[in-house]
Amino acid sequence: MLRNYFLVAYRTLLRYKAYTTLNVLGLSLGLTCGILIFQVLKFQLSYDGYHSRKDRIYRVMTDFYSDGVGHSGGVPTPMGQALRNDFAFLEKISMIFDQHDILVTIPDDKGRAVRKFNEEQLISYAEPDLFEILDYQWQAGNPRLSLTQPNTAVITRKLAQKYFGDADPVGKRLRISNDLDVKITGVLGDIPDNTDRRTELFISWATLKNYKGAGGAGMDNWGGVNSSMHCFVLTRDGTGEATAAKAMTGFIKKYHPRDAKEWGHPFIPLSQIHFATDYDGTMSKRQLYALGVIGLFLILTACINFVNLATAQALKRSREVGVRKVIGGTKPQLFWQFIAETGLITVLSVVLAILLAEITLPSLNSWVYETAGLNLFGNLRLLSDGPMALFLLALLALVTLLVGSYPGLVLAGFQPVAALKGKISTQQVGGMSIRRSLVVLQFVLTQLLIIGSIVVTRQMEFFRGKDIGYDPSAVVLLNIPTSDKATEALRYRFSQVPGVEKVSFSSFAPTSQSNNNTSHRFDTRQEDEKWSVNTKPGDSHYLETYGLKLVAGKNIAESDTTRGFLVNETYVRRLGGKLKPADVVGRTLEVWDRRYPIVGVMKDWNNLSLHNEIQPIAVFADRGRYHTAGIKVNTAHLNETLAGIERVWNETYPDHLYNRTFLDERIANAYQTENLILQLIRAFSGIAIVIGCLGLYGLVSFMAAQKTKEIGVRKVLGATVPQILALFGREFGKLILLAFVVAAPAGWWVMSQWLEDYTYRIPIGWPVFAVAIVTTTIIAAITVGWQSFRAATANPASSLKSE
């Protein structure tokens, strides 16, 4: 019996090739998107799930409380030792200090540089307990001993292969930034894809104390937080997040005695770090859920498509059903016959979807990683991946039953006499009301995706066009290996390059993801302020190079050391009272035990991305902290100018690799995730539109079949082609309007929630919804136009000759 079902189903699908092709195409597109989105969700939700003690691992973060709440993924440098001394419920604790874009040199036996590498991935200084908290696969060395001594390091097998080929790396030496030699004492297995900790080279924490190049001077400083200083802890069995939170209340009072109410150090579970975007997480769970909903939309749209086409096809198969019933076919047999046909179509669609996913995913993942620096999909292994295999089987079963049940019941319910005479009515194949409801639902889903695409596009255009307080274009940024050469002599040499207009040395560019926030005291106040200040050491050319403006006072004087401070307007406002910018000029500010006058107030600029509010900022001279050269260039002869800058840099730092970026490109990188979401939602919206068009084709085919005689009568009575076309136009116009009434408020609410994540955001006005409904109307008109025109221009004699 089962064999007969599928044999008949196979022959039926071959007979109705157009019907089969449309259904397979629509379902396969929806299922391909479903597979890709499921892979995204599965991979992203698996981040750091491979650690055996994951339920007991936390990372300590920092919150700042004043008139708002600020967040940092960093902690004060003494955090690890203090936790170790105070809390017995913590089994293991490890501090980590991360760096990136670091020069690594392979020296020969005589110490001469053989090869150089610029490591963009993280290099981390770590305490050895890290390897008892997180799971690393050790291929050589002892996890408890390899990083206990200063100037020791462990590297991954991938990095060892890169540096030394097949030779044993243990015992060999590396030189970091040309001023730190470390000995390799261990080799780790390669880092899994599903982790945010991409460190390939670990250096012992004991090295940090005496290595000025890694900022070890603040080992006992509780007043500052470096976003690259992290702390991981492993709690003992039975200790939960609530225990840690309760204990931290007294801990904060102990180590932040003067401003305990302004500090928080939450314990974030390992499973949530990847999604903690308020700190340094890379993916919002809200974005993942939205992506999952889009995947369901697309699969549901494809299923609706199938039902519409199948019920439209039922009119053509009425006599077939009548014959089957006359010769003894029962309703269950006819129902399962149609389920078998649906199953074959679904199997074909799933196979095609798997092929499409396999073909597109590698190039798609590569494109995402290159443009957004984010492994979005992981590795797709459809045949060996258990969850994916279960998902595909579930999808196959659910889609078959979901889309096959209703058309199967309709066909099985035909009366044999009426079916043989071709007298099946519209109501017997479900009526127009069912099809209208399904098409309205398709229009709702499509309009929701269009509204989402428009809002994300406008938000990204807003990001690109918003004035951030200065002009970041045409500024070349260079990482300075050693600040001792950041002098007037080097500035002069850069300035002599044709096309170079201005040069500044500083710790950070005005807008940077690397930041240092610290405590401070204003004027004669007896206590530190209850909020931190973002410190940006920079020279007297900082303002002119980056185009920053003064609103009061003057610029800092040319000096290698601090002689005065520049603060921004936000700093003045946070001081409270009715202070104006001119009021703070001449009054003192104390930062890092340096007490000097405020000489000027700068106009506000966005020092972080537009996700965040502007922070209080202090700019002051401190040549020992200059790590960045900002060079304003004329773009008229850019290639020649860049070549000249590179030549000067190589002559000044011959032992280092030249690596430059543009400031505006670095700022744009802060919105990579949003750009990625925009591209994905545009792609999925396009696919939803294609699937929806197939559904519309099914409905207009059904309408044309239903209204054949009505159209013939109207034409005989004098109706014109435009009047006949208006019949179809009014029908679809009502459906579009009805869908819009549902989609508009739903889309407004969903996108308003999405925009809540941004401090600076666009309003959602009526043009968004106008574009959505106009787009939907045009798509519908194009889709139904040809079929409607064929029905309107058909010879009325053909439709009326049987009457």
Q: Per-residue DSSP letters for 138-195?
A: EEES-TTTTTSSTTEEEEEHHHHHHHHTTS--TT-EEEETTTEEEEEEEEEPPPPSS-
Per-residue pLDDT, 316? 58
Q: Which of 212, 53, 30, 210 is nearest to 130 (CA)?
A: 53
Per-residue pLDDT, 2? 53
Per-residue pLDDT, 567? 92
In angstroms, the Cα distances linking 192 to 40, 48, 144, 283, 383 are 16, 9, 22, 17, 20
Are 653 and 627 contacting, i.e. CB atoms less than 8 angstroms apart?
Answer: no
Q: Whole-angstrom distance between the N-terminal and C-terminal Cα of the chain? A: 41
Per-residue pLDDT, 767? 85
Provide the 8-state DSSP code for 483. Answer: G
Q: Which of 65, 62, 87, 91 is nearest to 229 (CA)?
A: 62
Q: What is the Cα–Cα distance from 179 to 481, expressed in whole angstroms?
A: 10
Token match 């039926």: residue? 12
Beta-carbon count within 10 A of 578 CB: 5
In angstroms, the Cα distances linking 638 to 88, 288, 642 are 60, 41, 6
Tell me the Ramachandran region of residue 123: left when phi exceeds 0, alpha when psi lies from -120 to 50, beta otherwise: beta
Strand partners, 107: 113
List Cβ neighbours of 30 (8 Å cut-off, separation of 6 or more): 298, 299, 301, 302, 303, 305, 687, 691
List Cβ neighbours of 311 (8 Å cut-off, separation of 6 or more): 406, 407, 410, 429, 430, 434, 435, 702
> How far, rounded to the nearest angstrom, does the alpha carbon of residue 65 sit from its chain's CA centroid?
27
377-423 tens-digit pLDDT: 666 666 667 788 888 888 888 888 777 666 655 555 545 444 444 54
Structure tokens that stand for 405 in this block: 């049940």
| Residue 620 host element (H or E) | strand 617-620
Q: What is the Cα–Cα distance from 161 to 176, expressed in whole angstroms?
A: 18
Mean pLDDT split into 10-residue runs, the chain, 803 residues: 53 61 79 86 88 93 78 88 92 91 82 78 89 93 90 93 90 87 93 88 89 60 82 89 86 84 89 86 80 83 75 59 55 67 80 85 67 62 74 84 65 48 48 65 81 83 78 86 78 90 90 79 84 88 92 89 90 87 90 89 86 86 87 88 90 84 79 73 77 69 62 63 67 80 88 80 85 81 66 59 51
DSSP string of 375-419?
Answer: --S----TTT-HHHHHHHHHHHHHHHHHHHHHHHHHHHT--HHHH
Q: Cite the DSSP H helix spans in 508-637.
A: 542-546, 569-574, 581-584
List Cβ neighbours of 118 (8 Å cut-off, separation of 6 or more): 101, 102, 103, 104, 657, 659
Residue 494 has phi, psi (to 5 degrees) of -65, -40
Per-residue pLDDT, 139? 93
Per-residue pLDDT, 420? 43
Per-residue pLDDT, 10? 53
Per-residue pLDDT, 653? 85
Q: What is the Cα–Cα distance from 643 to 638, expressed in whole angstroms?
A: 8
Q: What is the Cα–Cα distance from 588 to 595, expressed in whole angstroms?
A: 6
Token match 């050391």: residue? 561
